[in-house]
Amino acid sequence: MGSGKVYSYLDHLECGRCNARFAADVVQGLCTVCGSPLLARYDLDRVGANCSPSEFVGRSPDLWRYHELLPVRSPDSKVSFGEGMTPLIPMPGTGSVMGLGRLFMKDEGLLPGGTFKARGAAVGVSRAKELGIKRIAMPTNGNAGAAWAAYAARAGIEALIVMPTDAPSVTRAECALTGAQLFLVDGLISDAGKMVAEAVSARGYSDASTLKEPYRLEGKKTMGLEIFEQLGWRVPDVILYPTGGGVGLIGIYKALLECQQLGWVGDKLPRLVSVQASGCAPIVRAWEDRASESTMWEDASTVAFGITVPKALGDFLILDAIYKTDGCAIAVDDDDLLDAQGVVARNDGAFICPEGAACFAAARSLRASGWLSESDEVLIINTGTGIKYPDTVSVSPPVLQVGDTIPVG
């Protein structure tokens, strides 16, 4: 390769655990040495020589503005609904209630399909298309499957999706309407994962499960890049992230390391907080034990269905990010997160998803315990819009007949 500008500076893939090296331009799954996820590595020297943050300013407000640090080689391979550059908004009302003077929310509900899953699907499907993949399969808690089904339809790729019967019902409609083959399983995502693994090995699907291909993570990484750009290329004090598979947190940390190596942000580390539900908190348990991996959580259950992941493949990467940034992991009860959902709606007007609400509940607890101070700049990732979870709100407004007078003072 010469020294000129190219669209992507992807160089190779590297095992996140044993550091084995793999070629990037053929289809790869997990590390063939140790079975761990592969991470995309870029030629950061050339990125630094050919690109600087000031260049992003004039580009389209979507995640592709960071194409040098994304794995898609050609803009022609992009499968896009215009996703990215979600707003980072102040939450002064909620902050005031919770004693947090600098509380912000990155609202991932403003992505195609209403969740942050669009990021991973956009980059993952684009790269799959570029590498010639024709059929993908994946287990999902609903939203990832819906996102991958949509992008796959746009790319002309077949999608096989398996989700628990308890997944948000609208995600069924999303998968079905876009033409995916959809199956429900009377179990958890881990059960769906085993069934997909069988289909992959026996019937020639490409496995798009969380971290079993290297590129979903690169899409999620753009959350971090956007946060840094939106803050003027610096980091906040704390980032709270609702953790199921944890790809977003791993991605934000990966973005941080790449940007630090490029000299685009300073040396300061944001404390990364992994938020889980009390009914499924394997990362929290591992963090409390100072362990480097988690163990399977039995009988997992929470209203924050998206983070019902009993054992994440990337658990060691999540925990590493928490330890390295002096962060923490915390679990919140369902009652507490549903209450926080209402606090956020009434005080700042935002209808957020239960997973995002878990982070607000966690922030409240961490402030009460003193782990967060009033002056900390705290950034919460709301991973989806509340409108995908109408059942979290119970409402029975009065019904009037035509001609009635509205009974208010």
Using CB under 8 A as the binding rule, the residues of this chain from 122 to 151 that contact a second copy are 149-151
3-class DSSP assignment, residue 35:
coil
Range in contact with a second copy (rule: CB under 8 A) among 4-12, 152-160, 231-239, 265-273: 152-160
Q: Does position 87 bind a second copy by CB under 8 A?
A: yes
Q: Does position 109 bind a second copy by CB under 8 A?
A: yes
Q: Which two tokens stand for residue 220?
A: 């999620």
Kindly state the smallest distance separating residue 279's Cβ from a second copy, in Å. Answer: 19
Of 117, 133, 98, 107, the residue nearest 171 (C-alpha): 117
Q: Does position 82 bind a second copy by CB under 8 A?
A: yes
Q: Residue 354, class by beta-carbon neighbours within 10 Å (0-12 exposed, 13-18 middle, 19+ buried)?
A: buried
Per-residue string for binding with a second copy, 172-211, x by CB under 8 A?
xxxxxxxx-xxxxxxx---x--xxx-xx---x--------
CB atoms within 10 A of CB 232: 8
Per-residue string for binding with a second copy, 25-64, x by CB under 8 A?
--------------------------------xx--xx--
Which of 68, 207, 218, 348 is the binder for a second copy (CB under 8 A)? 348
Which of 134, 268, 324, 346 is the binder for a second copy (CB under 8 A)? 346
Which of 123, 211, 284, 350 is the binder for a second copy (CB under 8 A)? 350
Using CB under 8 A as the binding rule, the residues of this chain from 355 to 394 that contact a second copy are 385-388, 390, 392-393
**Total residues at the site for a second copy (CB under 8 A)?**
84
Q: Specify the residue, 150 or 381, whose C-beta has the smaller distance to a second copy.
A: 150
Q: Does position 81 bind a second copy by CB under 8 A?
A: yes
Relative orientation angle of helices 216-230 and 117-130, to the nearest 10 degrees: 130
Of 235, 81, 212, 244, the residue nearest 150 (C-alpha): 81
Which of 1, 23, 26, 402 is the binder for a second copy (CB under 8 A)? 402
Q: Does position 232 bind a second copy by CB under 8 A?
A: no
- For residue 391, give every residue at least 6 positions away whose Cβ sits within 8 Å of its Cβ, in sequence order, or none: none
- For residue 300, give every residue at least 6 positions away whose Cβ sits within 8 Å of its Cβ, in sequence order, or none: 188, 279, 280, 308, 309, 310
